[in-house]
Amino acid sequence: METFESLVRSEFAPKNTYLNTASNGLLPARTVAALHEAARLRAEGRPLGSLHADVEKARAAFARLAGVPAGRVAAGASVAAHTGVIAASLPAGAEVLTAEDDFTSVLNPFHVRGDLKVRAVPLERIADSVRPGTALVAVSAAQSADGRVADLPALREAARRHGARTYVDFSQTAGWLPVEAAAHDFAATVSYKWLLGPHGAAFLVVPEDFGGLTPVLAGWVAGQEPWRSCYGPVTELADSARRFDLSPALFTFAGLRRSLELIEELGVDTVRAHDLALADRFRAGLAALGHEPLPAPGSAIVSVPGLGHRQPGLSDAGIEVSDRAGNLRASFHLYNTPADVDRLLDVLSG
């Protein structure tokens, strides 16, 4: 039986010290192999039915990770598109509560409507800021810029008291933190960060009754019988969340299916313990160097004020991190080791 470490080492062989999963996750070897096979199918003119089957297998795998039936999961291309569908469903004048400086994809579609009341408050106050008349609370489970994790149980309770709906973007947590999508009205995530997939795929979780959403982006794949919905208006939409699907990037889903299989094999709880141990090791090392990261307890993302300017030099040294608003952002995932953390600290101390 393979151990966590042996399984990870069989899938990943980074050529540098990669501490930037909050931007892009590394692709497992099995995913790269699936992408090559998908390209060969196209190059050789063979049938692509297996790639369409991969979309459904990826949907089912994500549904298991999210704790919902696959029929509640729509497959798309970006969180922004999913947010746009939700924004389009709101009546004019509806209030949307958001967190200040949250990631644009979970915010901007509400702003461009032009006729919604979008209110932003500090993340720490978002649960306390739900009020009568709030129609929707939209927030990232963890902030991209600094890793702060939202108090989702408090937010759910506040929303329930005031009759508001909740929409959570799990892009910065899905893969290392349980998603628990069933606890929210709507949930979304991209696949290319902590879920270790290629770019071009995203998931949206909707209620079983679809939550009043209109499939404004529906094309032929949204039909109950997609291959009979290719011409003219779609006469019968899918009776599941697939009515919100976008035409799938087949290569992406072929690879993503394998990435999700790996996450399931390792177990999210095991990945979380691994990631947080590394993040805590980095925080302790920073303290020894006299640096104080932004407070983000329980997060795999660590952001350090004033060190963003070190990012180019770190990249030259073979250490990949991010510069976000002048802060150095390091993010730790299953392929990272204590040696990776120590190497970053060593270079920062030099």
User: Looking at residue 76, what DSSP letter applies?
Assistant: E
Instruction: Report the pLDDT value the prediction gives residue 155, as an integer from 0 to 100.
Output: 98
Pairing of β 319-320 and β 186-190: unpaired
SS3 140: strand
Q: Please report which residue ranges of the chain form alpha helices under DSSP H.
A: 4-11, 29-44, 49-66, 79-89, 108-113, 152-162, 250-266, 268-288, 311-316, 338-349
Instruction: Dihedral sign for Cα 340, 342, 343, 348, please.
Output: positive
> Across-strand partners of 123?
none
Other beta carbons within 10 angstroms of residue 85's beta carbon come to 23
Print pLDDT tens along the chain (350 aa).
689 999 999 999 999 999 999 999 999 999 999 999 999 999 999 999 999 999 999 999 999 999 999 999 999 999 999 999 999 999 999 999 999 999 999 999 999 999 999 999 999 999 999 999 999 999 999 999 999 999 999 999 999 999 999 999 999 999 999 999 999 999 999 999 999 999 999 999 999 999 999 999 999 999 999 999 999 999 999 999 999 999 999 999 999 999 999 999 999 999 999 999 999 999 999 999 999 999 999 999 999 999 999 999 999 999 999 999 899 999 999 999 999 999 999 999 98
Sign of CA dihedral 184, 190, 192, 196: positive
Q: How many CB atoms lie within 10 A of CB 207?
A: 16
CB contact at 8 A, 63 and 73: yes
Residue 325: predicted pLDDT: 86
For residue 9, CA distances in Å to 3, 19, 28, 335, 336 come to: 10, 16, 10, 7, 10
Which pLDDT belongs to residue 249? Answer: 96
292: phi then psi, degrees, rounded to nearest 5: -120, 115
pTM of the full structure: 0.96
Tokens of residue 50, six digits: 């297996």
CA dist 350 and 96 (Å) reads: 46
* CB proximity list for 80: less than 8 A, separation 6 or greater: 104, 105, 108, 109
- In DSSP notation, 274-332 reads HHHHHHHHHHHHHHHTT--PPP-TT-SEEEETT-GGGHHHHHHTTEE-EEETTEEEEE-
User: β-strand 322-324 against 17-18: which pairing, if any?
Assistant: unpaired
User: Residues 6 or more apart from 231 whose CB is under 8 A from it?
Assistant: none
Show contacts of 278-287: CB within 8 Å, 24+ apart. Answer: 278/332, 278/336, 278/337, 278/338, 278/340, 278/341, 279/332, 281/338, 281/341, 282/330, 282/332, 282/341, 282/344, 282/345, 285/341, 285/342, 285/345, 286/345, 286/348
> Which domains, from first to last, does the chain contain?
4-27+267-349 (3.90.1150.10), 39-265 (3.40.640.10)
Q: What is the DSSP letter of 223?
A: B
Q: Give the C-alpha separation, 235 to 247, whole Å.
A: 17
